């Protein structure tokens, strides 16, 4: 019996290690590539020992193909989409989770149904609409389009968190003369803050990583980093090392958010499993 424990640990470590390796390999490969010259990148067989260079980073930060403006574009669009999404999704999620009103089921299904359409089928209509209203290649236009997928996602994620707050707590607050809005502010929101945090992070990451709408509906003025990276791939050649350096820079905020918000993310994801237990 005693011998099986270390064995289990080793087996667990092996499984976890191989899972991690599968996930980490492209990232590490990209990281290595970002420090190589284009010649080293294309060397065959691949070289593992090489003289590292910061040229690629210098180029994608300060050079002619700098992606800094694109990082800024991504930041503006993702932040605006996240703020607007949360501003609308919190009250909507609360209403769907809690309030009794006519056609509640129908409206809930409608919100969900918008997620059922394949995004690629929406690009042309979106393009035509934005073109009509002058919204192509604008922060406003892209942000509004991002809302169309982030808002239903956020609402449905938040509904489950609101439903987890015991109804009696809300009734107690109403009896304590808090009124609906102050009940939401003082009693409900503090209890779903884990859920709000995790939803905010997911919405931001989705917007940050979005490519398809950005490449079609963006342009020279508003070009998120995902599109800019794509531009390193051209018919003549693919600038792998620069692409890797750009990818590393684009990933940095995502990884930072992941590290800082890890506690919230894990907590937020486990709440649904153990009802009410995770938020206390």
Partner 1 sequence: MTGPGGVRLEGVVKRHGATTVLHGVDLAIEPGEFFVLLGPSGSGKTTTLRILAGLESVSAGRVLMDGADVTLQQPGERDVAMVFQSYALYPHMTVAQNIGFPLKMVRTARHDIERAVSAAAIKVGIGHLLQRTPGQLSGGQQQRCALARAIVRQPRLFLLDEPLSNLDAKLRLETRLELHRLQRSLGVTTVYVTHDQEEAMTLADRIAVFIDGRIVQVGTPREVYARPRTITVAGFIGTPPMNLIPGRWEGDAVIVGDERMPVATAGGPRAVMLGVRPGDLRIAERGLAAVVERIEDLGDSSILSFSAGDRLLKQKSDRLPAVREGETVRLDFAPETAHLFDPQSGGRL
Q: Which residues bind partner 1 (CB under 8 A)?
A: 166, 168-169, 171-179, 182, 186-187, 190-191, 279-280
* Closer CB to partner 1, 5 or 280, in the complex: 280
Both tokens assigned to 147: 């809302």
Burial of 242 (0-12, 13-18, 19+ CB in 10 A): buried
Residues 242, 37: Cα–Cα separation, whole Å: 9
Shortest reach from residue 88's CB to partner 1, in Å: 24
49 by DSSP, 3-state: which? coil
CB of 171 to partner 1, least distance (A): 5
Q: What tokens does 26 get?
A: 């492209």
**What single DSSP character describes residue 238?**
B
Shortest Cβ 189–partner 1 spacing (Å): 10
Q: Which is nearer to partner 1, 175 or 273 (CB)?
A: 175
Q: Are the C-beta atoms of 130 and 141 separated by less than 8 Å?
A: yes
**Closest separation in Å from C-beta 174 to partner 1:** 5
For the bound state, the minimum distance from the C-beta of residue 100 to partner 1, rounded and expressed in Å, comes to: 11
Q: Which is nearer to partner 1, 91 or 193 (CB)?
A: 193
CB of 58 to partner 1, least distance (A): 49
Contact status, residue 14 vs residue 6, Cβ threshold 8 Å? no
- Token look-up 């970002």 returns 34
Nearer to partner 1, 98 or 279 (CB): 279
Q: Which is nearer to partner 1, 100 or 132 (CB)?
A: 100
C-alpha distances (whole Å) from 123 to each of 86, 213, 236 are 24, 7, 28
Classify 163 in phi/psi space as left (phi over 0), alpha (psi -120 to 50) or beta.
alpha
State the CB neighbour count (10 A cutoff) for residue 201.
20
Q: Which is nearer to partner 1, 105 or 177 (CB)?
A: 177
């Amino acid at each position: 019996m005693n011998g099986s424990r270390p064995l289990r640990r080793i087996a667990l470590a092996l499984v976890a290690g191989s899972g991690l390796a599968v996930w980490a390999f492209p990232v590490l490969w990209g990281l290595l590539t970002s420090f190589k010259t284009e010649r080293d990148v294309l060397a065959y067989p691949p070289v593992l020992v090489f003289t590292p260079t910061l040229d690629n980073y210098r180029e994608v930060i300060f050079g002619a193909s700098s992606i800094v403006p694109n990082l800024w574009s991504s930041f503006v669009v993702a932040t605006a989409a996240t703020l607007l999404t949360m501003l609308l999704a919190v009250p909507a999620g609360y209403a769907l989770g809690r309030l009794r009103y006519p056609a509640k089921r129908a409206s809930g299904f409608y919100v969900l149904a918008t997620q059922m359409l394949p995004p690629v089928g929406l690009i042309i209509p979106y393009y035509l609409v934005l073109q009509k209203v002058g919204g192509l290649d604008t922060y406003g236009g892209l942000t509004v389009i991002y809302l169309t997928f982030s808002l239903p996602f956020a609402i449905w994620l938040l509904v489950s968190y609101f439903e987890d707050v015991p109804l009696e707590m809300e009734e107690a607050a109403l009896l304590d003369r808090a009124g609906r809005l102050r009940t939401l502010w003082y009693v409900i929101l503090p209890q779903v803050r884990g859920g709000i945090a995790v939803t905010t992070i997911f919405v931001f990451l989705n917007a940050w990583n979005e490519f398809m709408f950005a490449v079609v509906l963006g342009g020279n003025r508003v070009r998120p980093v995902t599109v800019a990276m794509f531009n390193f791939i051209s018919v003549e050649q693919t600038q792998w090392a620069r692409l890797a350096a750009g990818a590393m820079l684009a990933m940095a905020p995502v990884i930072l958010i992941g590290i800082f918000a890890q506690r919230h993310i894990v907590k937020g994801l486990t709440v649904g499993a153990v009802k009410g237990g995770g938020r206390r």
